[in-house]
Structure 1
Amino acid sequence: MFELSSGQIGAWVGSFMLPLFRISALLMFMPLIGTQLVPGRVRLYLSLAICLAIMPSLPPMPAIDAISVEAFIWIAQEILIGAMLGFVLQLFFQIFVIAGQIIAMQMGLGFASMVDPANGISVPVIGQVFTILVTLLFLAMNAHLVVFEVLAESFFTLPVGGGFLLENYWEIAHKLSWVLGAALLLVLPAVTALLVVNLAFGVMTRAAPQLNIFSIGFPLTLVLGLVIVWIGMADFLAQYQMFATEALQFLREMARAR
């Protein structure tokens, strides 16, 4: 009769289940795979596949009792580390979502909202367009492979059972201000141009009070806003590369990877 001792079960849990929790938490929180578009079963299968692929290159894992309090503490730590890495990527994607919302409000397109299938909420169309562009660029430039590389290196820099790093989460809290600043930097040219347009309509209203500025100004602001967004797309790739480089570098710093 085949029997397993508690030591053998603990060694299996330590060598496979603990890395699986970190990988699963990352995939649950990262923008592309962790959205509502990807079923939970697919994310679980992908987590198992990644865990089996990187297991031979991982450092030796500690053997623990599978039903002890220490095991649950280590599982919670692995989930927090994976969630931390995934949340950094969420911050990067939210830069472009916020930028699209600011531009849409300035050009009078804030009412034109659509349901974001990734998050299940209504967002302006411009923000959704920016999200689609960032997603395509993220995949085209193999940034997701960089994320998986950092994940594999995190098992060496943040070993399983190596202690809870609270300062990393304080760094994420301080990084929230970077998201708003980066979004404002991204939309600054478009917002400035739209401000000039609105000032011009204000001067027209004072010069010709009989002119119905609401029937003329709104469609013109909308058309000029779309033209400004179209012109700004010429510099979208350079801005994406700058923010993506900083976000991935911050991800490496959080994981203490090379």
Structure 2
Amino acid sequence: MEPIAFSTDVIGQWVGQHLWPLFRIGSFMMAIPFIGTNLVPARVRLGLALLMTFLVAPLIGDVPRVDALSADAVVITLQQVLIGAGLGFALTALFQLFVIGGQMIAMQMGLGFASAVDPSNGVSVPVLSQIYSITVTLLFLAMNGHLVAFEIIVESFNMLPIGTTGLASETYWQLAHRISWMFVSAMLLALPAVSAVFIVNISFGVMTRAAPQMNIFSLGFPIGLIFGLFAIWVLHANFLPHFEDYTRQTFAFMRDMLAAAP
């Protein structure tokens, strides 16, 4: 029986077929909010990335045959990291949208001082933002949004095969402008509650000018806080439609990122 000989090209093909998908999937896992947080250990994220890589590798097909220590290999590796991190950033903007919206509402109604440490990011955020973050995470998982995100990262190997060419140059500008979309959407989400509390503050200001001898602002703060909580309760009826709309826009943007690649 003749021994099986493995050439350098074959070994490079095997290594590249698993290593480069691992860089793309691993960077995506590290960036997405519901897995790439401080609450999930790095070993768990790496294990999930390895498991998904072994499942996806047979579906990828041939990968470029280049020397592992060549400049092309470094370029390909960087392209895979940028693709995974870009897709993860687009999904992170969806979750941070609601955190910013909750912070806008909390600052307007006087709950800005009631802050708590966000264990997922390790920073202090208002309690209302934390409530919104937990609600969005549970809704995203309940609606199988994580499965759609994994489906997009798997589809990316067909829409944007492994190679020296990555995302288009205009895609990086679109990712930078995604921050503007995040703030605009957060403002639209918080605008009804902010406007309602602002009208209450204007009313107390008019009352103070009409009767300066009365200490209206001593009552204005608790009343404004109660009215803000009432506005939040009313706005929760439209929370799910807003979440579905923003999630649909995010997944469409992630697919457009891959479709616009050269």
The TM-score with structure 1 as length reference comes to 0.95
Are residue 84 (structure 1) and residue 86 (structure 2) matched?
Answer: yes
Q: 2:179 aligns with which of 154, 176, 180?
A: 176
Q: Name the CA distance, whole Å, in 2 between partners of 1:57 and 1:74.
A: 19
Counterparts of residues 192-211 of structure 1 (less than 5 Å): 192-211=195-214
Task: Answer yes or no: is the 8 Å Cα contact 1:58–1:152 preserved in 2.
Answer: no
CA deviation map 1:196-248 (0-9, x unaligned): 11011112212222222232111111111111111110110011111111111
Q: Name the CA distance, whole Å, in 1 between partners of 2:259 and 2:173.
A: 15
Task: Answer yes or no: is the 8 Å Cα contact 1:15–1:63 preserved in 2.
Answer: no
Q: 1:241 aligns with which of 240, 244, 248?
A: 244
Task: Answer yes or no: is the 8 Å Cα contact 1:85–1:251 preserved in 2.
Answer: yes
What is the CA-CA distance between 1:3 and the residue it aligns to? Answer: 7.8
Task: Answer yes or no: is the 8 Å Cα contact 2:101–2:189 preserved in 1.
Answer: yes
What is the CA-CA distance between 1:2 and the residue it aligns to? Answer: 8.8
Q: Name the CA distance, whole Å, in 2 between partners of 1:170 and 1:9.
A: 38
What is the CA-CA distance between 1:167 and the residue it aligns to? Answer: 2.1
Aligned partner of 1:231 in structure 2 is: 234
Equivalent residue letter for 2:175: I
Equivalent residue letter for 2:68: A
5+ unaligned residues in a row in structure 2: which ranges?
A: none
Aligned partner of 2:190 in structure 1 is: 187
CA deviation map 1:104-138 (0-9, x unaligned): 00001101111111111101111111111110111
Q: Name the CA distance, whole Å, in 2 between partners of 1:57 and 1:107.
A: 52
Q: Name the CA distance, whole Å, in 2 between partners of 1:53 and 1:224.
A: 52
Q: Aligned-residue CA RMSD in angstroms?
A: 1.7
Could you tell which deviates more after superposition, 148-157 or 168-177?
A: 168-177
Task: Answer yes or no: is the 8 Å Cα contact 2:115–2:125 preserved in 1.
Answer: yes
Q: Name the CA distance, whole Å, in 2 between partners of 1:40 and 1:138.
A: 22
The TM-score with structure 2 as length reference comes to 0.93
Partner secondary structure for residue 115 of structure 1: strand
Aligned partner of 2:51 in structure 1 is: 49
Task: Answer yes or no: is the 8 Å Cα contact 1:25–1:82 preserved in 2.
Answer: yes
Partner secondary structure for residue 114 of structure 1: strand
What is the CA-CA distance between 1:35 and the residue it aligns to? Answer: 0.7
4+ residue runs over 4 A deviation:
1-5
Partner secondary structure for residue 24 of structure 2: helix
Counterparts of residues 208-227 of structure 1 (less than 5 Å): 208-227=211-230
Partner secondary structure for residue 253 of structure 1: helix
What is the CA-CA distance between 1:253 and the residue it aligns to? Answer: 0.7
Equivalent residue letter for 1:249: A
5+ unaligned residues in a row in structure 1: which ranges?
A: none
Aligned partner of 1:103 in structure 2 is: 105
Partner secondary structure for residue 123 of structure 1: strand
